[in-house]
Amino acid sequence: MTTTAMNPGRLDGRLVLPGEAGYDEARTVWNAMVDRRPRMVVRCASVGDVVAAVRTARELDLELGVRCGGHSALGLAVPDDGLMVDLRPMGGVRVDPVRRRAWVQGGALLGALDREAQRYGLATTAGNVSHTGVGGLTLGGGMGWLARQYGLACDNVASFTMVTADGDVVHASPTENPDLFWGLRGGGGNFGIVTEFEFRLHPVGTRALVAEYTFPLDRALPAFRHWRDLNAEAPRQATFTASLGGDGQVVLGFVWVGDPAEARKLLPAMRGLGRTVATRVHEPSYVELQRQDDTTGRHALRRYSKGHYLRRLPDEAIEAFLLRGSTGSGEGLPNAGLQAYGGAISDVPDDETAFSHRGTVFEFGCGTGWTDPAEDAARKASARRCAAALAPFASGVYVNALSDDGAEGVRRAYSPDKLARLTTLKTAYDPHNVFHLNHNIRPAR
């Protein structure tokens, strides 16, 4: 094996080969089902390292995978016998509180962005789990607790710096390569490796409120209907959520970012949901809110999930959600959840970004985590049944929620017009489909 396009001694980071210290850590991702062995891992510490890695992969005709941070549910970042670009050493965040801007390197996690911005009471939309990668989240759209107030993560990007399939460094903004700027806001990692994001920040303060009302499954339907109707009138600071877990209990509520005193004005209406088995209202800091699902979303579990976008939530959809694809006891069923969209998400004109389905009312997701490989088939089947039960009500899917859906999933994630435009952009920036280990948009032939 040679690495003629890359001199390891000239890297700012490190080239890691099989058998060397750090190799197994570098190839281990969030989903424990992923167990692939790259021929080499380039732990990039600079844009120059990324350029060298891309050119090496091209010269040696190696598959190229990109790890930009946290999860990689399908493990697409880890190419068997290929070259893995590990951006995690490039995890820096720089904040200008006067201009309300954050410059975030491509390997940063959401928690780093949250911590630096919150030093000044600022934030931008940044997911729900702090060990998620900024890059993957943002390039697919980027839902989070601030989205109803300020739009998706991709709506808050002012500029990108990207390394192309030829190893060139380009910038994208409303005035520089505007077509690429359009495509990077929702089109995923199809066009290159983003090494830096410039985000707009917002003065959100440091406080939040979470309200949760728990109902037994046999009393959940009327409460669920009322919760749905309240969501239609909810202030933008509130993101309504619903979840159903392994204990068979339904949790309905909302997350509020901003003054908790204002959030508490919603509580009398929420008490109208009915008699609960448990009620919890608490006031985390914003940073604590961003970490509250870190344990549920922890590493080292085998993972599988499915999802849909919903433009409406009729009673029949609620009933299907509660059944989760089963008429049995509920044992072994996946966790299921709903998160409200609307507000600033739907304010953005549909043709302004590659992200589609801005008319979504709720995002539905179901998923399961386990440790025993013998359970793989049953766990996957249960998630598929759950998703199939909601499919009649679906209007599309979040590209970041795709699993093993293949080309059909990509077609569900984008409107036909947007997919055609993305294909043209892919053909211009990556005609040989070097960046294909993703939810792939193929170039025109």
Structural domains of the chain in order of their starting residue, each with its CATH number: 10-86 (3.30.43.10), 93-204 (3.30.465.10), 208-407 (3.40.462.20)
Contacts for 313-316: CB closer than 8 Å, 24+ residues apart: 313/228, 313/338, 313/361, 313/362, 313/393, 314/393, 315/221, 315/225, 316/393
Q: Are 83 and 63 in contact (CB under 8 A)?
A: yes
How far is C-alpha 67 from the chain's CA centre? 14
The secondary structure element, H or E, covering residue 147 is helix 147-150
Q: Which two tokens stand for residue 204?
A: 């959100």
Q: Are 256 and 237 in contact (CB under 8 A)?
A: yes
What's the average pLDDT block by block, 10 residues per block, for the chain (445 residues)?
A: 65 98 96 97 98 98 92 91 98 98 98 98 96 97 98 98 98 98 98 98 98 97 98 98 95 98 98 97 98 92 97 98 80 92 98 97 97 96 96 98 95 97 98 98 94
- The pLDDT score that the predictor gives to residue 72 is 78
Q: Are 340 and 148 in contact (CB under 8 A)?
A: yes
How would you label 142-164 residue by residue, b for 16+ Cβ within 10 Å and e otherwise?
bbbbbbbbbbbbbbbbebbbbbb
Round to whole Å and give the CA distance between 200 and 95: 10
One-letter amino acid at 204 equals V
Round to whole Å and give the CA distance between 147 and 124: 8
Burial class (CB in 10 A: 0-12, 13-18, 19+), 404: exposed
Q: Where are the beta strands (DSSP E) in 4-139?
A: 14-16, 40-43, 64-67, 83-86, 93-96, 101-105, 122-123
Task: Return the DSSP state at 444.
Answer: P
Closest C-alpha among 138, 95, 137 to residue 113: 95
Round to whole Å and give the CA distance between 336 and 314: 17
How far is C-alpha 365 from the chain's CA centre? 12
Burial class (CB in 10 A: 0-12, 13-18, 19+), 165: buried
Q: Which two tokens stand for residue 102?
A: 């954050």
In order of 91, 114, 307, the CA distances from 193 in angstroms are 14, 22, 26
Round to whole Å and give the CA distance between 62 and 84: 10
Burial class (CB in 10 A: 0-12, 13-18, 19+), 124: buried
270 dihedral zone (left: phi>0; alpha: psi -120 to 50; beta): alpha
- The pLDDT score that the predictor gives to residue 330 is 57
One-letter amino acid at 338 equals L
Round to whole Å and give the CA distance between 214 and 417: 42
Q: Are 159 and 185 in contact (CB under 8 A)?
A: no
Q: Are 33 and 69 in contact (CB under 8 A)?
A: no
Q: Are 429 and 167 in contact (CB under 8 A)?
A: no
Strand partners, 43: 14, 86
Terminal Cα-to-Cα distance of the chain (whole angstroms): 32
Strands 302-310 and 362-370: antiparallel
